């Protein structure tokens, strides 16, 4: 989230799109009801299904799954053609005035630089025109034909209300009503918030869907404002913490990145990440990259990390490609990866194309599963009839299950969607021999270290030199780990303005990341968490909900990264002269000497208004990007591409380029796609409120509340197929089949799309062949093995199936 859960109550308009907050985030959803009850907020739900969120909405707009960019592109077109944008904000705080390099083009569905053979772009033309002073050129009048503003206008002029309705199946008048309500927030004292979740991320164009929403918010001047922003509702408890700590294969903690295999030079690695400012006078905070990186390496390798050995840069793995989940299981399927540690993850349930996963797991030599539950993954070799029809005797994989504690059985912090690190305490001892994950990993590490000590090896350095100074080496405590993430001074730290003044003594916990150094005098395990456990103690355990402004910015409740800041980009809540856009919802203001307010200013505190420094301090140009430069795989402006399995067989905007041209598709998986001829129905998978992923089918109460697998179909489709409420149905894709009970509902209506009637089939995911609920089929038997071109998040939300009464 750019903002946080409580802040939702400050919104005037709330849009849930690409998510179903009432159902999947019922506790956080209370802030939507707050906004409605006490802020007279208008609540809109845009979704293929009339969801539980829609049941309490003021307006529901249906759309075909996978067409969100078309819808939001239409909103951009509406805002621009009806002049409903926040002009001053757009001019000062976005890259609308920036001039794009000559050579940039968009034609017939492709941006300039496409390399068809590689399914990739040469992005060199997706850049600003740079002036002789080394800075990007701008046109404050926004009239230059190559200004971002003019290019934006041109790009989205194709997204007319008729085009939107034709692609999305949304009735035109409903679409226009949504646009009108959104447009009311283009004034400075009204805000809109977007709440989204996996309904956006799980598409081959998922990242671009989110970007389109961000662009709408920039045009309306809603980023940095109370009740505004683009708000990702995170799923798994602590999935936010997982990404923060860099547990994706290409990341290091705090969104630092691993080097690629061509990046063998340390200085080049750093300078490629410490971006040079693109406009004069910008803070450009990533220029501090080396401080974050060196402090991380000091936390990991202690005295072994020195200036001379480039802080152990050579010990870091260098990536030849990104090892995302799809890549990993593809390699496993090819027999190229033959050992697998699986921690807190149930890929047999959570990864597309179950048949491929079973084949891949069957080729492994060993699989180690660390989990509190007997997951389907750990039992993939068991035959459960049609639910898991494997030949056990032919599977030679050795499976080792290491029972771990669950979150309620250990101390620690959980990071919520609003970036709050909230400390919690153990509620009960773990059952049997279950151990905390940290203890299990420590045990494995200590054994490995012992082996390396005894036997040496090709590359023992990083294992032998890893900092491991925990009180109980085989059981690092959550408190010790948290302190390590916060970081400490390795030497006396002095005031940069007066070197004789010591601001922090050697050995003390850091106050925050502003104290980090790139000379080896600080260590910090995750720079964005710095400030969470200082000399004042555990900031995450704070529970003071004092809220002087009434806006919900409770600065003494837990710790919010970065720097305990609650609303990101909050400098943009004031106009360039430093005056809050909305006097009723002031977040920060200039008090004559410094920035102050009810939030921690997201700005250099002593830079006065009127200075050229702009609010988006992490960007080298200081402003929000309507034009994404080279940061996205498939183009600087989001474009509507169809799902890889589309029910309409074409892209009405450009029939020659149907789906995402930059998506990565493995050979066998392309062959496993189905077409609308055999699979005429648009399918989408989702969660229901009674269950949490594949966990709660192991608990009795949740199993009582929703005991048995079902799929949802509309009344019209049911009639056509002769299916009644509660009938057994068989649903199949080109990759397999499931059987489930039919829930026939008015909440899924056929949509008119490009001259065709499109019906949806809704497939909740929660059932499987382990647990207390009635056995069912893993829904991901059906889904296609293709992901978003940037993140490789699988396209669980849009694919094709057929359905019959079983």
Name the residues that contact another protein, by CB under 8 A: 22-23, 26-27, 29-30, 32-34, 36-37, 40, 50, 52-56, 58, 60, 688-690, 700-710, 724-727, 741-747, 772-774
CB of 228 to another protein, least distance (A): 22
Six-digit token string for 72: 């939001």
CB of 53 to another protein, least distance (A): 7
- Residue with smaller CB distance to another protein, 9 or 155: 9
- Residue with smaller CB distance to another protein, 670 or 700: 700
- Residue with smaller CB distance to another protein, 435 or 760: 760
Under a CB-based contact definition with an 8 Å cutoff, are residues 351 and 329 in contact? yes
What is the rounded distance in angstroms from the CA atom of residue 359 to the CA atom of residue 352? 13
Radius of gyration of the chain (CA): 26
CB of 237 to another protein, least distance (A): 15
Distances in Å between the alpha carbon of 130 and those of 2, 151, 342, 797?
30, 17, 47, 40
Name the packing angle between helices 172-183 and 68-81 (round to 10°).
60
Alpha helix ranges (H) inside 344-436: 347-350, 354-362
List all residues 6 or more positions away from 664 whose beta carbon is below 8 Å from its beta carbon.
119, 326, 786, 787, 789, 792
Distances in Å between the alpha carbon of 597 and those of 338, 540, 578, 584, 586?
55, 21, 12, 13, 8
- Residue with smaller CB distance to another protein, 9 or 625: 9
DSSP string, 200-216: HHSSTTHHHHHHHHHHH
Scan for tokens 């493995």, then name that residue. Answer: 666
- Residue with smaller CB distance to another protein, 19 or 412: 19
Name the DSSP letter for residue 34: H
Alpha helix ranges (H) inside 659-784: 667-671, 700-705, 715-721
Under a CB-based contact definition with an 8 Å cutoff, are residues 285 and 273 in contact? no
Tell me the residue length of the chain.
806
CB of 39 to another protein, least distance (A): 11
* E strand residue ranges, 108-191: 110-111, 114-115, 120-121
- Residue with smaller CB distance to another protein, 719 or 724: 724
- Residue with smaller CB distance to another protein, 23 or 376: 23
- Residue with smaller CB distance to another protein, 335 or 427: 427
Name the DSSP letter for residue 532: S
CB of 151 to another protein, least distance (A): 39
Under a CB-based contact definition with an 8 Å cutoff, are residues 255 and 292 in contact? no
Scan for tokens 């569905």, then name that residue. Answer: 109
CB of 558 to another protein, least distance (A): 19
* E strand residue ranges, 703-798: 710-714, 728-733, 736-745, 751-753, 756-758, 760-764
CB of 695 to another protein, least distance (A): 14
CB of 61 to another protein, least distance (A): 11
Closest CA to 280 of 620, 624, 625: 620
CB of 427 to another protein, least distance (A): 14
CB of 42 to another protein, least distance (A): 9
CB of 744 to another protein, least distance (A): 6
Under a CB-based contact definition with an 8 Å cutoff, are residues 275 and 283 in contact? no
Six-digit token string for 699: 């608990």
CB of 25 to another protein, least distance (A): 9
- Residue with smaller CB distance to another protein, 26 or 103: 26
What is the rounded distance in angstroms from the CA atom of residue 34 to the CA atom of residue 5? 11
Under a CB-based contact definition with an 8 Å cutoff, are residues 798 and 660 in contact? no
- Residue with smaller CB distance to another protein, 584 or 746: 746
- Residue with smaller CB distance to another protein, 71 or 710: 710
- Residue with smaller CB distance to another protein, 618 or 772: 772
Under a CB-based contact definition with an 8 Å cutoff, are residues 561 and 169 in contact? no
CB of 37 to another protein, least distance (A): 6
- Residue with smaller CB distance to another protein, 430 or 707: 707
3-state secondary structure of 240: helix
| Beta strands 110-111 and 106-107, pairing class | antiparallel
CB of 778 to another protein, least distance (A): 17
CA 734, 686, 229, 160 dihedral sign is positive
- Residue with smaller CB distance to another protein, 303 or 774: 774
Scan for tokens 């990046």, then name that residue. Answer: 263
Burial class (CB in 10 A: 0-12, 13-18, 19+), 775: middle
3-state secondary structure of 42: strand
CB of 707 to another protein, least distance (A): 5
List all residues 6 or more positions away from 287 whose beta carbon is below 8 Å from its beta carbon.
274, 275, 276, 277
- Residue with smaller CB distance to another protein, 88 or 386: 386
- Residue with smaller CB distance to another protein, 113 or 707: 707
CB of 745 to another protein, least distance (A): 6
What is the rounded distance in angstroms from the CA atom of residue 53 to the CA atom of residue 415? 24
């Amino acid at each position: 989230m750019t903002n946080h859960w409580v802040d939702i109550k400050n919104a005037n308009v709330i849009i849930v799109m690409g998510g179903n907050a009432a159902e999947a985030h019922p506790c956080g959803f209370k802030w939507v009801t707050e906004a409605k009850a006490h802020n007279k907020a208008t609540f809109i739900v845009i979704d293929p299904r009339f969801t539980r969120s829609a049941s309490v909405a003021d307006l529901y707009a249906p759309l075909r799954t996978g067409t969100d960019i078309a819808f939001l592109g239409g909103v951009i077109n509406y805002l621009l053609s009806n002049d409903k944008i926040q002009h001053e904000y757009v001019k000062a705080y976005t890259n609308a005035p920036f001039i794009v390099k000559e050579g940039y083009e968009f034609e017939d569905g492709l941006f300039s630089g496409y390399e068809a053979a590689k399914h990739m772009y040469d992005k060199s033309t997706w850049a600003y025109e740079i002036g002789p002073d080394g800075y990007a050129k701008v046109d404050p009048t926004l009239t230059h034909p190559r200004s971002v503003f003019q290019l934006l206008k041109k790009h989205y002029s194709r997204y007319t209300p008729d085009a939107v309705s034709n692609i999305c199946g949304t009735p035109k008048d409903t679409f226009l009503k949504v646009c009108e309500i959104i447009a009311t927030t283009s004034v400075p004292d009204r805000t809109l918030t977007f709440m989204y979740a996996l309904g956006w991320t799980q598409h081959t164009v998922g990242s671009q869907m989110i970007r389109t929403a961000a662009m709408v918010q920039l045009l309306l001047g809603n980023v940095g404002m109370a009740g505004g922003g683009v708000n990702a509702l995170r799923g798994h408890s602590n999935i936010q913490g997982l990404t923060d700590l860099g547990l994706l294969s290409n990341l290091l903690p705090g969104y630092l990145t691993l080097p690629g295999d061509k990046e063998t030079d340390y200085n080049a690695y750093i300078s490629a990440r410490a971006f040079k400012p693109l406009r004069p006078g910008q803070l450009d905070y990533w220029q501090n990259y080396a401080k974050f990186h060196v402090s991380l390496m000091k936390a990991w390798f202690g005295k072994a990390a020195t200036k001379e050995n480039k802080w152990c840069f050579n010990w870091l793995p260098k990536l030849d490609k990104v090892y995302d989940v799809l890549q990993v299981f593809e390699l496993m399927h090819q027999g190229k990866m033959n050992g697998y540690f699986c921690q807190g993850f149930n890929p047999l349930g959570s990864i597309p194309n179950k048949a491929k996963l079973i084949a891949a797991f069957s080729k492994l030599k060993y699989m180690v599963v660390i989990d509190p539950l007997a997951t389907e993954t750990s039992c993939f070799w068991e035959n459960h009839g049609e639910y898991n029809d494997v030949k056990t005797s032919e599977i030679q994989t050795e499976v080792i299950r290491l029972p771990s504690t669950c979150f309620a059985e250990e101390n620690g912090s959980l990071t919520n969607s609003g970036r709050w690190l909230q400390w919690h305490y153990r509620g009960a001892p773990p059952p049997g021999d279950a151990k905390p994950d940290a203890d299990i990993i420590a045990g494995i590490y200590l054994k490995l270290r012992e082996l390396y000590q005894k036997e040496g090896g090709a590359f023992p350095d990083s294992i032998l030199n890893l900092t491991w100074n925990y009180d109980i080496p085989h059981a690092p405590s959550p408190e010790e780990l948290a302190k390590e993430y916060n970081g400490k001074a390795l030497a006396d730290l002095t005031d940069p303005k007066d070197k004789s003044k010591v601001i922090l003594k050697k050995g003390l916990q850091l106050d925050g990341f502003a104290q980090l150094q790139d000379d080896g005098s600080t260590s910090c395990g995750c720079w964005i968490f710095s400030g969470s456990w200082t000399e004042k103690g555990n900031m995450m355990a704070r529970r003071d909900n004092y809220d002087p402004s009434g806006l919900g910015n409770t600065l003494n409740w837990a710790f919010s990264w970065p720097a305990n800041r609650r609303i990101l980009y909050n400098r943009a809540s004031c106009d360039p002269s430093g005056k809050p856009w909305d006097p009723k919802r002031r977040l920060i203001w200039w008090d004559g000497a410094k920035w102050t307010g009810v939030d921690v200013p997201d700005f250099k505190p002593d830079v006065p208004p009127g200075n050229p420094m702009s609010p988006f301090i992490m960007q080298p140009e200081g402003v929000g990007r309507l034009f994404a430069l080279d940061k996205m795989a498939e183009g600087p402006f989001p474009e509507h591409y169809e799902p890889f399995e589309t029910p309409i067989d074409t892209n009405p905007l450009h029939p020659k380029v149907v789906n995402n041209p930059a998506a990565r598709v493995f050979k066998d998986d392309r062959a496993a796609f189905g077409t609308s001829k055999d699979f005429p129905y648009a399918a989408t998978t989702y969660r229901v409120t009674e269950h949490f992923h594949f966990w709660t089918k192991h608990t009795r109460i949740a199993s009582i509340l929703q005991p048995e697998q079902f799929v949802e179909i509309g009344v019209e489709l049911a009639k056509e197929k002769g299916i009644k409420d509660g009938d057994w149905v068989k649903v199949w894709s080109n990759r397999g089949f499931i059987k489930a009970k039919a829930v026939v509902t008015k909440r899924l209506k056929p949509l008119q799309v490009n001259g065709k009637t499109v019906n949806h089939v809704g497939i909740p995911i929660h059932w499987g062949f382990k647990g207390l609920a009635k056995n069912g089929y893993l829904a991901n038997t059906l889904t296609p093995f293709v992901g978003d071109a940037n993140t490789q998040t699988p396209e669980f939300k849009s694919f094709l199936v057929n359905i019959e009464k079983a």
